[in-house]
Amino acid sequence: MNSNHKKRNFQIEAFKHKVVVDPKYADKTWRLLEHAINEIYNHNASGLSFEELYRNAYNMVLHKFGEKLYTGLVSTMTRHLTSMSKSIEDTHGEMFLEELNNKWTDHNKALQMIRDILMYMDRTYVPSSHKTPVHELGLNLWRDNVIHLTGIQTRLQNTLLQLIHSERTGQIINRGLMRNIVKMLTDLGPSVYQSDLETPFLEVSAGFYRVESQDFIECCECGDYLQKAERRLNEEIDRVSHYLDSRTKIKITNVVEKEMIANHMTRLVHMENSGLVNMLVNDKYDDLKRIYNLFHRVPHGLDTIREVMTSYLRDTGKNLVTDPEKLKDPVEFVQSLLNEKDKFDKIIGFSFNNDKSFQNSLNSSFEFFINLNPRSPEFISLFVDDKLKKGLKGVSEEDVEIILDKVMMLFRYLQEKDLFEKYYKQHLAKRLLSGKDSSDDAEKSLVLKLKTECGYQFTSKLEGMFTDIKTSQDTVHGFYSTHGSELVTGPILTVQVLTTGSWPSQPGATCNLPTELTSICEKFKSYYLGTHTGRRLTWQTNMGTAEIKATFGKSQKHELTVSTYQMCVLMLFNKSDRLTYKDIEQTTEIPSVDLKRCLQSMACVKGKNVIRKEPMSKEIMESDVFFVNEKFVGKFYKVKIGTVVAAAVKEEPEKMETRQRVEEDRKPQIEAAVVRIMKARRVLDHNNVIAEVIQQLQSRFLANPGEIKKRIESLIERDFLERDGSDRKLYRYLA
């Protein structure tokens, strides 16, 4: 034996020079490793020495046999995988997936061990020769030799899709197994996952939902359909979280959204008796919330909802403001508007997530139909008048604020705010002068709100009115404390001194006050003028009331509350029993129209006929004669005699007058705006002038372009502006 020789051959030399190793060494080492790999795949790894195998692999690579090692690895692994795939293929029915999963697990375990053993090669030979690293190699080989094997690939896809379909139709499947298989696919790379599973999955799902949605929509009401859609959507999200890749979530939800919602959007919204309008009318908050959430997910979904809501609102609103029944009762009119606003505020709050675009639609719709009725400003003022007149006693301060805030909200929608201001002023004047002290705080609160909304100018006169009332109280107080002693026996006088500019202008009228009053009236006048020099006082006889004690017959006593005119007439009967119309007219000098009404209220109204007239006709003629009605008996001690309101005909001209006055007032405002704008800009073209004027006056009223043009022409005529010489579209400011 040449053992000595052999020993000498195996002497280990120092690493200083290359050692050419016997090629047989390489073969031998490889065979060792190959055997190890086989054992690993055969679940026999326990008997192997990791350290030895690692060293062998290391040596191979070190001695330049990396290539051999690598190719050997490839072929061995491929061999094993091929046999694995055969066994998978041979599995029947339900065990297919499970077998696949098992083999995959085995392969992964083996791969890990192999990689650990071949780590040196992985770190040195592989990068330098640009080969695929071991782990990746293992995955690729699995993919090529197992998954993409014709027999297995299609079968795998079909099985998976079939299971998903079963789950969709209500069956329970093994989600854990699904998850593992899907993870396998994702581990093999995103392209494998996508082409082998995700894309066909999405396609099949689209088809499934297309059919299902078609079935549902034929037989379901909108609300039910939406519930089903929501359920399916949640199901898919759940599915993804349990066993699909998270990146599939957005894709599958898009599919469901498209098939179940987007494709049927219009039909759903317009479904008769159950669509969006029905939901709005019946305050179905949950259904509305669902439809909002679902439609939110699809393009133009919310636009569709919003359009339908807006057109419904505008129609309803338009009907509301033109309903003849409602127009008879202004308070009812406004209350209906407030109710409608409340309703939609709630809907947008509960169901539409306070979506700003919906709120904007709501606002623009309200603005649209409120201004369809030219009497809206008047009605809103009447509503406020009603609430403040009746007194808000019993209503808490917070509730008062809430009502006023709601009124302000409607006020903001008005285009003709200046018309509202005029009516509000008239109504406020009536309220303040009626003598009732109720709701003073509420009045002031509302004025403050108007001031915040529209600025100081809007409310300065209103505040003047309040001041006058207060000052008058002080003045009367001062009057009585100064002259008190002299006046004890005479009539009691309460005066309100009104500053002309602040109060709605009243036409002056003649009227001679009864002699019984002249003394005290003069005393007051001189008292006042004594403390306020340079002022002029005029008694407004068309306003004011008097309380008179009267005795009818022998002993029938009553206290009558009458208007100033009525007082003047009645006092005349202290001096004579019989008076003709002419007598009365001459002595009192009250204008005939008012005098007739005044007499009619006292002679022709049942229960208030303190005066008797001959003949007993309904109308007051200039030939009539009047007497005190000695037989008058009133129900109560105190009798209030109103003034006959003339036929509705009189109301119309008054309204026309108010509107005309407002139109007239607008002209100087437009001119002022034009001048302001031109002064700043110096030169500006026609369209821009119009646009800026409209914008500047927006807070008061909507300016009409034709009217603006007229005002511009008037300004040109008066040499405030001129047209530009070369471009006639331009206006120039003339300093």
Partner 1 sequence: MPRASKRKADAVKSSHAETAPKKPTKEVERIDNLFASYANTSISMIDPEGVEKLCSDLSVEHTDVRILMLAWKMNAKKQGYFTQEEWRTGLKSLRADTLKKLKKELTELEKEVANPNNFEDFYCYSFRYCLTEDKQKSLDIESVCVLLDLVLGPKFRLQVDSFCDFLKIQKEYKVVNMDQWTNFFRFCQEIEFRELKNYDACQAWPLILDNFVDWLREKSKSA
Q: Between residues 370 and 684, which has the closer beta carbon with respect to partner 1?
A: 684
The nearer residue to partner 1, 408 or 730, going by C-beta atoms, is 730
Taking the least distance from each CB to partner 1, the nearer of 557 and 709 is: 709
Q: Which of 488, 359, 341, 496 is nearest to 432 (CA)?
A: 496
By the 10 Å C-beta count (0-12 exposed, 13-18 middle, 19+ buried), 607 is classed as: exposed
Tokens of 600: 């009619």
Q: Which two tokens stand for residue 119?
A: 């780590």
- The residue (of 408 and 691) whose beta carbon lies closer to partner 1 is 691
Could you tell me if 684 and 715 are in contact, meaning their C-beta atoms sit under 8 angstroms apart? no
Nearer to partner 1, 535 or 718 (CB): 718
| Structure-block tokens of residue 36 | 């190890």
Helix, strand, coil distribution of the chain in percent, nearest 5: 70, 5, 25
Q: How far is the CB of 712 from partner 1 (least distance, A)?
A: 8
Least distance from partner 1 to the Cβ atom of residue 707, Å: 9
Alpha helices (runs of H) in 532-647, residue ranges in sequence order = 564-572, 581-588, 592-603
59 touches 22 (CB < 8 A): no
Beta bridge partners of 614: 625
Which residue, 398 or 717, is less far from partner 1 as judged by CB?
A: 717
Q: How far is the CB of 730 from partner 1 (least distance, A)?
A: 8
Question: Closer to partner 1 at the Cβ: 701 or 731?
Answer: 731
Cβ closest to partner 1, residue 394 vs residue 706: 706
CB of 702 to partner 1, least distance (A): 17
Q: Closest distance between partner 1 and the C-beta of residue 662, in Å? A: 20
Residue numbers at the binding site for partner 1 (CB under 8 A): 685-687, 690, 705-706, 709-710, 713, 716-717, 723, 728-731
460-463 CB contacts, 8 Å cutoff, 24+ apart? 461/425, 461/501, 461/502, 462/424, 462/425, 462/428, 462/502
**How many angstroms separate the first and last alpha carbons of the chain?**
131
CB of 669 to partner 1, least distance (A): 18
Q: How far is the CB of 686 from partner 1 (least distance, A)?
A: 4
Distance CA 37, CA 32 (A): 9
Closer to partner 1 by Cβ: residue 583 or 685 = 685
Provide, rounded to whole angstroms, the least separation between the CB of residue 668 and partner 1: 18
Give min distance, CB of 724 to partner 1, in A: 10
Cα gap 236→343, rounded to integer Å: 35
580 forms beta bridges with: 625
CA distance 712 to 691: 13
Q: List, in sequence order, every residue forming a beta bridge with 613; answer none if it has no partner.
A: 626
